[in-house]
Amino acid sequence: MGLLDKEFSDGNIVIAKVDDLMNWARLSSIWQLGFGLACCAIEMMATSASHYDFDRFGVIPRNTPRQADAIIISGTVTLKMATRIKRLYEQMPDPKYIISMGSCANCGGPYWEHGYHVLKGIDRVIPVDVYVPGCPPRPEALLEGLLKLQEKIRNESLRKKIA
Amino acid sequence: MYQFLYNLIGNEILAGLLVAVVPLTIILVFALFGIWLERKVSAHMQDRLGPMRTGWHGWLQTVADLMKMLQKEDIIATDADKTLYNIAPVLVFSGSFAAYAVIPFSSKLLGSEVEIGIFYVLAISSLVVAGILMAGWSANNKYSLLGAMRAVAQIISYEIPTALIVLSMVMLTGTLSLDKISQMQTSSFWNWNIFGGAIFGLSKFLLIPFMFIGALIIFISTLAEVNRVPFDIPEAESELVAGYFTEYCGMKWGMFMLAEYGNMFAVSAIITILFFGGYQSPIGYFGNSISAQWLVPFEQGFWFIAKGLTLVFVQMWLRWTLPRLRVDQLMTVCWKYLIPYAFLNLIIIGIISLL
Amino acid sequence: MALKTETMVLNMGPQHPSTHGVLRLELEAEGELILSVKPHIGYLHRCFEKHAEAMTYPQVIPYTDRLDYLAAMGNNFGYVIAVEKLLGIQIPERVEYIRVIMAELQRIASHLVAIATNGADIGALTPFLYLFRDREYILSLFEMTCGARMLYNYMWIGGLSHDIHPDFVRKTKEFINHFRPTVVELNNLLTFNKIFIERTAGIGILPIDTAINFGATGPVLRGSGLAFDVRREDPYSIYNRFEFEIPTGKGLVGTVGDCWDRYYVRVLEMEQSVRIIEQAIDNIPEGDVHSAIPKRIKPPKGTVYARVENPRGELGYFIISDGNLNPFRVKVRAPSFVNLEVMGELCKGHLVADVIAILGSLDIVLGEIDR
Amino acid sequence: MKNPEEIFELLKNEFGEAILSLDKETPTEPIISINSLQIHKIGAFLRDSDEFKVDSLMVLSGVDDANGTKIKDEDGVDVINGGTLSVYYHLHSTSLKHKITLKVSTQREDPKVESVYNVWRTSDWHEREAFDMFGIIFLNHPDLRRILMPYDWEAGYPLRKDYKNPEFYQGMKVPY
């Protein structure tokens, strides 16, 4: 059982500090699942490469879903692939995050109308945390997406959500 | 160290536990530092920066990684053999941890002064093999299984040249104790075993080339034993996804990782002791010259760690430069080249030391 | 007595670090020995041909970019040549020159990725990053021309979307000066590395007649020793004005047609591309790149098959026009699609690790395999 | 190097009835139409004879000619009835450098074409693709399965002009 499975009902200063520490650890070490789908995968590789260097943010590709924290859906998701992506997502241990990279993964992109074999948006299959627009998004855009994800993680809490 | 603590506390178990804390701290600190170093070294070799956002040049990166791993869900596949699956990482980690018990970090800081230190290290590190095989088998994943089979074949094969070189060194020094081997190579780097040891005369000069060969062989074969490139085929990322620990997640995987880095330093330490003078300073001690004897063990610690880290750095350097061998080529290197040369080396060193 | 054992079916992909995307390989293995390999494709089938039928002729161009996303310029080039043939229009000299320069730059960029991933598959990660760094240089050249890094929509029917930037010529020359030493460095670091040679020489040998019968083209065919290059065979655009050699596999360190030959052909081809660029860059004539773009693109009834030499081989567009604003049928002859077919032949009797080396040396792009 | 007229004449002499016509009206490339059930024999001849040495199949493309009558079925969906599906073979010779384009047509309702798998192995996946996209049955093909679409795709052949996309596939919504 992960530590995060337990929710605390009342927030206090200790939990708030622990929250900060935990969140810091999670957001500083987002290991992405190393797999690419289409055009965007090349930009994702370029982002990991020397020029943009994903590693600065602690992001390294892990090839097995078991050791990954985030999955970057980099490209067009076809119907044939969607079932596999769902399985990969399910194989990842919690807490896990999804970045949907590029128009195709966001909404079908240029294939939205006549793409008889294209899934129009990965969010029909798995929940998405951050959408990065572009076709393909520039590496800077992907980095921005990552920063947004970090921001999102920073605001997570062990406390029970009030709603 | 144990004796000292025993005298101080007077309780065997407590003293034993306290002694065990020392190598544990060292292995953990080294793993934290080693993983960070690996990432920085690779990054700078590749024209990148590496981790930058966690502290100064990302020095807290591994801390963040470990804390994240602690938070991860622990998945055990339904079809996995749960007992073996859970034992495996512990076994692998304890195998590499136990090796630290006899490594003399300085003349005062060593866990246990066993007389058969080097023999113990060779024996205990075989636990790792069992752990790896368990990990690969129990995960019920074909990639894990392939990785485990490769790992076992590789580690067991490469133990032979390692053992042969160790044997020749034992023959030369006449002791199995790592501490004694270290003590022999005192006062100057000219007395290191790689330069023929602390003997004088013709045989020293005859020994030098064979010592270099021996050091090279043991470096290569230990590289293979700890699964580093170019011998990282058990976890070959591009072939087997992640090898025997494909199915492990969270801290269990973290233990494999700690064990791997622990092993890296352990084998470097063994090579240091056997060939590079152990904890002995190459240039004499500052503490002796200002007659502050208490300073000497600290200096020794410094030299030991510096030498070990240099070798670790060489391992990383190779890792980020070379491609990876294939499984049959790996075996060829071992059985056709390393073992015959190691044997030859053993015989020649034997003859020379009889002179 | 032989021990009776079962063979193991190993599923490689669609998510696997070295299947170059979403290819799935079904390996039947006996331990580490491969008995048969069955590729399963279609995980990236994006319905290009359906889209082409629903779009007008110029609208198809952005979709061609996304076929072979590592060589988008080449894809544009093939398509616009096909449509221009159908329309029967002449295009200005300046456009031709710029197109050739762009296509050759793209060839270098694409081969850099091919070499990089081939090396990375074998375990050499550092050359991978070095080559990606050099590729950025080319991408910045494209970016200053048309604003996009990867998918350009740059070549239009009858012209180009933008004229080149005033600095383009100077920057390209700078790039060439930077690039020549890089190839030497690459050769030292990877090409003639003993381990790399051990891993690739004599592995996955493709005999020349098998290669032709399977329809392999590009570096895969040339690696087997046949100097077949569409740029020479069936010169399109202005390729007949330039001097360049067609490198072929010579079996320098192994057998002709092995993985290393296919790899090395790419290295040599990059140098030839640099030669072509050098010849073209100083001779770009003045002119307007938009002058020949027709106002209304409505080709007459007919069919056309036009082919160009893309980095991965012969890229062909078979277009049937029924006289309307959209094509009636566009069929793409994707080089990787054809090249991948030999995979099953090549892998027999090799080890699991060799499958990776062979796949890397074929240099596939799933975007154009699945279309 | 031979021009299409010569090739057509030579083939006509060799195979007679199986060679149907030479279509020269298309502006860019003349196409030789042949009988769909004789293509294997003709392909083997083209490959092996010293005059042609056509050793390479560049591309094999299926085409829906959409020349039947458009009718509405009971659901009010346009379907095409009758007419033909065609397969184009673009061939060339690596040694003699000539190019040939062959075309075979087959009935839309019962599309059957001989496979040229044994002649040019290139055609293996191309024929599977044509089957996948148009439903053209290639006789004697050893492994005629879907290739690009999922193996369990049941909604028909996507590149036919009257193809209708399904609403759901394995619980995933397909249209936008």
Domain boundary among B71, B98, B125: B71
Give the closest of D56, D125, D158 to C50, CB-based: D158
Express as a percent the part of chain B with pLDDT over 90.
Answer: 0
Does the distance separating the beta carbons of A50 and B47 come in below 8 Å?
Answer: yes
Of C69, C52, C57, C234, residue with least CA distance to C156:
C57
pLDDT of residue A10 exceeding 70: no
> Does A31 reach chain C within 8 Å, measured CB to CB?
no
Q: Which residues contact B78 (CB under 8 A, 6 or more apart)?
A: none
Model pLDDT, residue A161: 52
Residue type for position C206: L
Cα torsion through B276, B278, B281, B284, rounded to 10: -100
Report the C-alpha gap between C321 and C328 in whole angstroms.
5
> Does A52 reach chain B within 8 Å, measured CB to CB?
no
Does the distance separating the beta carbons of D149 and A82 come in below 8 Å?
Answer: no
Q: What angle do CA C86, C91, C96 make, to 5 degrees?
A: 115
Does the distance separating the beta carbons of A42 and C69 come in below 8 Å?
Answer: yes
Report the C-alpha gap between C232 and C235 in whole angstroms.
5
* CA pseudo-torsion sign B258, B259, B264, B268: positive
> Does C308 reach chain D within 8 Å, measured CB to CB?
no
Domain boundary among B22, B45, B71: B71
Of C228 and B204, more confident: C228
User: Which residues lie across from C303 on neighbouring strands?
Assistant: C320
Cβ atoms < 10 Å from Cβ of A56: 16
Domains of chain D with bracketed CATH? 4-173 (3.30.460.80)
Residues of C in contact with D101 (CB under 8 A): 303, 305
Nearest chain C alpha carbon to B318? C124
The three-class DSSP label of residue B12 is: helix
Report the C-alpha gap between A60 and A99 in whole angstroms.
15
Does the distance separating the beta carbons of D59 and C318 come in below 8 Å?
Answer: yes
pLDDT of residue A163 exceeding 60: no
> Does A126 reach chain C within 8 Å, measured CB to CB?
no
pLDDT digits (tens, 9 = 90+) for C214-271: 888 888 888 888 888 888 888 888 888 888 888 888 888 888 888 888 889 999 999 9
Give the number of A-B residue pairs with CB atoms closer than 8 Å.
98
Which chains sit next to A, with 3 or more Cβ pairs under 8 A? B, C, D
Nearest chain C alpha carbon to B142? C10
pLDDT digits (tens, 9 = 90+) for A113-160: 888 888 888 888 888 989 998 888 989 998 999 999 988 888 877 665
pLDDT digits (tens, 9 = 90+) for C219-230: 888 888 888 888
Does the distance separating the beta carbons of D165 and A120 come in below 8 Å?
Answer: no
Give the closest of A50, A88, A138 to C129, CB-based: A50
Q: Which domain holds residue B45?
A: 1-71
Q: What is the largest CA-CA distance in chain D?
A: 57
Interface probe, candidates A45, A66, A90, chain B, greatest B C-beta count within 10 A: A66
- The token pair at C46 is 């994006």
Model pLDDT, residue B121: 85
Average pLDDT over residues C189-215: 87
For every one of its 176 residues, what pLDDT tens digit does chain D have, with 9 covering 90 and above? 677 777 778 778 777 777 777 777 666 678 888 888 888 888 888 888 888 788 888 888 888 888 878 777 777 777 777 788 888 888 888 888 888 888 888 888 888 888 888 888 888 888 888 888 888 888 888 888 888 888 888 878 888 888 888 888 888 888 87
Residues B287, B168 share a domain:
yes
Q: Band the pLDDT of A8: cuts 50, 70, 90.
A: low
Average pLDDT over residues C351-370: 86
Interface probe, candidates A32, A33, A35, chain C, greatest C C-beta count within 10 A: A35
Residues B292, B177 share a domain:
yes
pLDDT digits (tens, 9 = 90+) for B130-156: 888 888 888 888 888 888 888 888 888
Question: What is the Cβ-side half-sphere exposure of residue C131, based on CA atoms within 13 angstroms?
Answer: 28
Nearest chain B alpha carbon to A34? B241
Of A161 and A48, more confident: A48
pLDDT digits (tens, 9 = 90+) for B293-306: 778 788 888 888 88
Alpha-carbon gap: D70 to the closest alpha carbon of chain C (Å) = 17
Across chain C, what does the average pLDDT equal?
86
Model pLDDT, residue D27: 63
Give the closest of A80, A115, A136 to C150, CB-based: A136
Q: Which residue has the tokens 């997406």?
A: A145
Does the distance separating the beta carbons of C14 and A81 come in below 8 Å?
Answer: yes
Give the closest of B64, B70, B248 to A66, CB-based: B248
Of B203, B221, B200, residue with least CA distance to B211:
B203
Domain boundary among B14, B43, B71: B71
Residues B163, B46 share a domain:
no
Nearest chain C alpha carbon to D91? C215
Residues of B in contact with C254 (CB under 8 A): none
Model pLDDT, residue A5: 54
Domain C45-370 has CATH 3.40.462.10: no
Indicate the domain borders of chain C: 45-370
Buried b (16+ CB within 10 A) or exposed e, C318-333: bbbbeeeebbbbbbbb
Does the distance separating the beta carbons of C63 and A116 come in below 8 Å?
Answer: no
Of B198, B65, C316, residue with least CA distance to A28:
B65
pTM: 0.88
Residues B106, B200 share a domain:
yes
Across chain B, what does the average pLDDT equal?
82
Of C45, C46, C57, residue with least CA distance to C328:
C57
Report the C-alpha gap between B73 and A2 in whole angstroms.
4
* CA pseudo-torsion sign C235, C239, C242, C243: negative
Three-state secondary structure readout of chain C: CCCCCCCEEEEECCCCCCCCCCCEEEEEEECCEEEEEEEECCCCCCCHHHHHHHCCHHHHHHHHHCCCCCCHHHHHHHHHHHHHHHHCCCCCHHHHHHHHHHHHHHHHHHHHHHHHHHHHHHCCHHHHHHHHHHHHHHHHHHHHHHCCCCCCCCEECCEECCCCCCCHHHHHHHHHHHHHHHHHHHHHHHHCCHHHHHHHCCCCCCCHHHHHHCCCCCHHHHHCCCCCCHHHHCCCCCHHHCCCCCCCCCCCCCCCCCHHHHHHHHHHHHHHHHHHHHHHHCCCCCCCCCCCCCCCCCCCCEEEEEEEEECCEEEEEEEEECCCCCCCEEEEECHHHHHHCCHHHHHCCCEHHHHHHHHHHHCCCHHHHHC
Residue A31 DSSP one-character state: P
Report the C-alpha gap between B90 and B80 in whole angstroms.
17
C73 and C110 Cβ atoms separated by less than 8 Å: no
Residue type for position A96: K
Model pLDDT, residue A4: 52
Model pLDDT, residue B209: 85
> Does C44 reach chain A within 8 Å, measured CB to CB?
yes
Report the C-alpha gap between B86 and B134 in whole angstroms.
9
Interface probe, candidates C135, C194, C195, chain B, greatest B C-beta count within 10 A: C195
Instruction: Count structural domains, chain B.
Output: 2
Does the distance separating the beta carbons of C333 and D59 come in below 8 Å?
Answer: yes
Alpha-carbon gap: B207 to the closest alpha carbon of chain C (Å) = 30
Cα torsion through A50, A53, A55, A56, rounded to 10: 120
Does the distance separating the beta carbons of C233 and D63 come in below 8 Å?
Answer: no
Average pLDDT over residues C42-71: 87
